[in-house]
Amino acid sequence: MRRFKPNPLAVALATAFCLTPAWLLANDQPPIALPVPPSSKGQTKVTADNMDGEMEIELKARGNVVVTRDDQKVEADWLDYFQDKDRVKAGDHFRLTRAGDVVDGTTLDYNVADYTGIGLEPVFSIARPLPGNKAANNTVRGDGRQVEFRGENQYRVFDSRMNTCEPGDDSWYLKSSTLDLDYTRGVGVARHARLDFYGVPIFYSPWLDFPLTDGRKSGILPPTFKTGSNGTEISAPYYWNIAPNYDATLTPRFNTKHGTLLGAEFRYLQPDYNGSIYTEQLPNDKVTDTHRYFWSATHNQRLAPGLGFNYNVNTVSDPNYFRDFGDRIAIASNVNMVREASLSYGFGWQGGSANSLLRVQRYQTLLENPAPNDIPYARLPQLVFNANQKLPDGFSANLQSELTRFSHPTLQTGDRLVTYPSLSWGLDQSWGFIRPKLGIHYTSYQLSDVQGQQTTLQGDNLSRTLPIFSTDAGLFFEREAQVLGEEHLVTLEPRLFYVYIPTKNQDNLPNFDTSENDFNFAQLFTENRFSGSDRINGANQITAALTSRLISQQNGLERLRLSAGKRYYFNRDDISLTGVPEERTVSGSNVLLGASGDLSSQWRLDSTYEWNEALKKTERYNAQLRYNPAPGKVASMRYRYGRYELQDTATTYGPLRQVDLAAQWPLAKKWYALARYNYSLESRQPLEKLAGFEYNDGCWSLRLVGQRYISDLNTYKNAVYFQIEFKGLGGVGNNPADALRLAIPGYSKTNNL
């Protein structure tokens, strides 16, 4: 005989059968509820208009049936509940909800205890919060022939359609024979997948996976397309998420002009080191009939506390590689490709610290037929040591030093030792500061023979010793004022910077790594106008500068900054870049003026002006005004003038006059125009023309951009960018975002608005 073991559901069911009169079971009465004990976790509750069945075996519920268990709820027209298995069968129509998941269908066979079962003709909407943004959800919705519930966070849909659009937006669908949504791993997998865009198939893959969260995952990335002067190119990257701290990307690329390339990138990240290795390989270029390649590798490692190692190595097969396979950014940024490795060590003590660096460095020059001076010196090796120590009464001692061996294929080579000890004192108060400094700069050379001959300079052992004295001082004045009805803080900040360095002939010294710095506000407050250590200017001079700022008390924005600065010479002695002493023809430097700031929440001004004191002419100026009332709405105008500047070809000097106009602006609802026009008034030719548009439909966006730019003296490059980006699924086409950010100051991707 079966032993009877009462439980809460059985007691409730018995009460319903034994104590409830038949007339209370009429459909127009409140639904019957099977009560649940106070601790209801793991318990099932059923309510319906009518219920009957066999206790502990099967319960039949009819009319407005609702079954709840923990965070699940099943609603149906009718339902059979098998109590011993926690299994429900529902029909006519059902709705299964759990947190942000909703599945509707016709019939359901489901186990509420382990979240498994089958539903027919499902219509689903599954939402999960994004880990990086708890206020936003990533929602997948769609329908299919059958849904298989495979666990608490796993679904498989057969003959499915899905997208990530808002309800009612069916602009695109990903159709597949099976669709797996695994929220445990955050991965969706579609087999025999076809992407339909307004009913037109635009992409097919036998297997496609995509992220269900904002985490990384392995899979085929959307293919990219681009066309232009370098040919039409198609690439199909594959991303391999090897581990949380390792990944790789393989990118086959077919170029109609040059052939088939293979790109590969491997990245790694560990607590004590990180880096990447990247390569592009073209075994047989159809144009040059040669093997062409590009390699880049970086590594940074912490070997021990304070001890680090890193390298950065880059190489290409030929000087024209980036012109044939790169864009404007790659061409401009890869003239001299660095290859270096270094070992650094830093340590500290009470009141002081020191750091050292051992480095080897050389470059690959990508200029065709470069002149000897176009090739930078290699440092093989360079040893740098710097230290500082705080002393009593505001004093501090400092040391800068380096020992470098310079190597070059055709020019003078040798070793250089530099030491620069100094003693400084500082007084910093709320009302101002004063910082005097006294140091001795010593430089020594041991020169080598050039191509088997004696050194080109007189003597193998050369040296230079120069004392350097400087004082930097400034005052701060401020007051509150009301400007345009808003409270502001107005500052007045005068500053003086004095430098004394005796003038010494240096034409007997080589020039390994020295060039003359550009003249700007920062350079006004430096001891030496030359970079490197081969040349040190003579100086008996003082810089006077004045800055006034208008700062909003409401939000802290710097509404306006006005600056003026000029250097005054107490003697006429100086040193040229060749090292020969020369006499200045003026008593002071050029005058610098500057005005910048957020004039309002919509307008931004940046401008500088340089007046040539000797010629009584404008040396250069630059003015940019930007209007940005809202993201996606920006227009800027810039004018540059230089009396004697590096020209557009980057090989000659002369007058420079350029106009630069750029904008991103909404034309109509969902439509944005993109444009840039950079024109040289001096050479009477455009340097860059860019035009295109963006369309943002909410669930998908489209970008089409054409670009034409000058790459060298008589060569223009063309590029066309086209991309369709689907919300939550990625994009198809070549992403022009980098080119747009470079061309249009303040550019915003419209699908982020």
pLDDT in tens, 403-441: 999 999 989 999 999 999 999 999 999 999 999 999 999
pLDDT tier, 188 (very low <50, low <70, confident <90, very high otherwise): confident
> Ranked by mean pLDDT, which of 20-29, 281-290, 463-472 comes out on top?
463-472
Burial 614-628 (b: 16+ CB within 10 A, else e): eeeeebbbbebebbb
pLDDT of residue 268: 95
Q: What angle do CA 364, 367, 370 make, to 5 degrees?
A: 95
For 151, what's the count of Cα atoms within 13 Å in the CB-facing half-sphere?
8
Q: How far apart are CA 261 and CA 255, in angstroms?
A: 8
pLDDT at residue 1 greater than cutoff 50: no
pLDDT at residue 6 greater than cutoff 60: no
Q: How far apart are CA 437 and CA 443, in angstroms?
A: 19
pLDDT at residue 397 greater than cutoff 80: yes
pLDDT of residue 456: 57
187-193: list long-range contacts, CB under 8 Å, 24+ apart.
187/211, 187/212, 187/217, 187/219, 188/140, 188/212, 190/160, 190/162
pLDDT at residue 8 greater than cutoff 50: no
| Average pLDDT over every residue of 237-242 | 84
> Ranked by mean pLDDT, which of 16-20, 44-48, 442-446 comes out on top?
442-446
pLDDT of residue 648: 54
pLDDT tier, 454 (very low <50, low <70, confident <90, very high otherwise): very low
CB atoms within 10 A of CB 269: 13
What proportion of the chain, given as a percentage, has pLDDT over 70?
87
pLDDT tier, 5 (very low <50, low <70, confident <90, very high otherwise): very low
Burial 346-359 (b: 16+ CB within 10 A, else e): eeeeeeeebebbbb
| Average pLDDT over every residue of 663-685 | 92
- Give the chain's mean pLDDT: 86
pLDDT of residue 329: 65
87-94: list long-range contacts, CB under 8 Å, 24+ apart.
87/111, 87/112, 87/117, 88/112, 90/65, 94/119
294-300: list long-range contacts, CB under 8 Å, 24+ apart.
294/321, 294/325, 299/273, 299/274, 299/275, 300/273, 300/274, 300/275
Q: How far apart are CA 354 and CA 250, in angstroms?
A: 43
Q: How far apart are CA 163 and CA 223, in angstroms?
A: 19
Q: Strand 617-630 vs strand 603-612: parallel, antiparallel, or unpaired?
A: antiparallel
Query: In Å, how far from its chain's centre is CA 390?
Result: 39
Are 323 and 330 within 8 A, CB to CB? no
CB atoms within 10 A of CB 454: 10
Q: How far apart are CA 102 and CA 124, in angstroms?
A: 6
Burial 484-505 (b: 16+ CB within 10 A, else e): eeeebbebebebebbbbbebee
SS3 (DSSP) at 737: helix
> The pTM is what?
0.76
Please tell me the least confidently modeled range out of 111-125, 226-240, 507-521: 226-240
pLDDT of residue 86: 84
pLDDT of residue 387: 97
| Average pLDDT over every residue of 594-600 | 93
Alpha-carbon distance values, 645 to 458, 564, 614, 743 (Å): 35, 22, 18, 21
Residues near 96 by beta carbon (within 8 Å), at least 6 away in sequence: 72, 73, 74, 75, 102, 103, 104, 105, 108, 110, 119
Q: Which helix (H) or strand (E) holds 10?
A: helix 8-19
pLDDT tier, 27 (very low <50, low <70, confident <90, very high otherwise): very low
| Average pLDDT over every residue of 185-210 | 86
Instruction: State the DSSP string of 711-732.
Output: EETTEEEEEEEEEEEETTTEEE
pLDDT at residue 16 greater than cutoff 60: no
Q: What are phi and psi of 26, to 5 degrees?
A: -65, 150
Q: What angle do CA 93, 97, 103 make, to 5 degrees?
A: 50
Structure tokens at 711: 């790459």
pLDDT tier, 636 (very low <50, low <70, confident <90, very high otherwise): very high
pLDDT at residue 532 greater than cutoff 60: yes
Q: How far apart are CA 388 and CA 401, in angstroms?
A: 12
Compare 356 and 214 and report the one with higher pLDDT: 356
Are 290 and 282 within 8 A, CB to CB? no
CATH architecture for residues 1-112: Sandwich (2.60)
pLDDT of residue 240: 85
What proportion of the chain, given as a percentage, has pLDDT over 90?
55
Q: How far apart are CA 61 and CA 80, in angstroms?
A: 6
pLDDT at residue 201 greater than cutoff 60: yes
**What residues does CATH 2.60.450 cover in the chain?**
1-112
pLDDT at residue 12 greater than cutoff 60: no
Q: Which helix (H) or strand (E) holds 14?
A: helix 8-19
pLDDT at residue 645 greater than cutoff 70: yes
Compare 149 and 486 and report the one with higher pLDDT: 149
